[in-house]
Amino acid sequence: MRRSVKLALGAAAALAALSLLRAEGPLPEGVRKTDEDLRFTGQDLFGHINGGAEVFYEYGFRDLLVERYAAGDKKLNVETYRMESPEAALAIYLLLRGEETPIEGLGARNSANPYQISAVKGSRFLQVNIFSGDEALLPVAAELARRALASAPEEKEPADLLGRLPEEGRVPGTEMLVRGPYTLQRIYLFGDGDILRLGGRIYGVAARYEESEGDTAVYDRILIDYPGEEEARAAFRNLADRLDPYLEIVREEEGFLVFRDYKDEYGSAALGGIRIELRTGLSAAPPARTPSPILQK
């Protein structure tokens, strides 16, 4: 269910921030405004997104402006999310982009289909929704996206977190970031709560990999770098102690864990220095722990 939320009186800082989100300049030909803008700040996002707001908060949501338009009798809207950092905006883009099919000329990383354009620029994450799914409206939606992105301030590039992921065997387009239990469970459910102690402050990187070169079997790999070795050890211990009871532990050594799930697939967790490496969806149990360059941090 969607609802309009008025800004609280006195929220001058939030209002100022939202004013920076609004696109400027003439509308595309044939497009008109249909309703007042909607603004969402703080916990209001739960009133706009029916399920899924948690991942925005976990990555670092700040505020949202929704602008509503029509082209003829077809409705479109532009949703501009301001996240806490370029890394947070990239994280939500990677999570929601689907198969990345960019269109040219937006001046920002993007993905488009007949129902939606998603884009990221600095700490802004943008979605233009075409409610009819009419592909003929894609150029109009692209112009609305271009207009909104042009109004976003220039910011630094996000830190190269994805650069931690090994390239060998990686399936392109599967990279994503995790920052807590809601985003982690989009990949795998290791147990209840924040079992890896990410706390909405530590980013993990993840992607899908081929089990061997040219193999159709794939698995998911997650790498998490903690601020220090003690914090990494505590997170690994918490994972081992609170692993979901539906996961059967088949091998446990110092800093190394192998488990089997209900699909008879295997997973592993390995600790090395400040880093934890997790693998899930393996077709066979990994051998005994061997030194891995991925864990040499």
Can you tell me the distance from the alpha carbon of 109 to that of 60, in angstroms, rounded to the nearest whole number?
20
Angle at alpha carbon of residue 217, lines to 211 and 218, rounded to 5°: 65
Please write the tens of the pLDDT for every residue from 231-289: 999 999 999 999 999 999 999 999 999 999 999 999 999 999 999 999 999 999 987 77
- Token pair of 271 as six digits: 């600790």
pLDDT for 3 beyond 70: no
Provide CB contacts within 8 A for 77, sequence distance 6+: 66, 67, 68, 69, 128, 129, 131
Can you tell me the distance from the alpha carbon of 266 to that of 94, in angstroms, rounded to the nearest whole number?
26
Which amino acid is it at 187? I
- List, in sequence order, the alpha helices (H) in the chain: 12-19, 53-59, 86-96, 138-151, 181-184, 229-241
Place of tokens 């697939």: 265
Please write the tens of the pLDDT for every residue from 110-163: 999 999 999 999 999 999 999 999 999 999 999 999 999 988 888 989 999 999
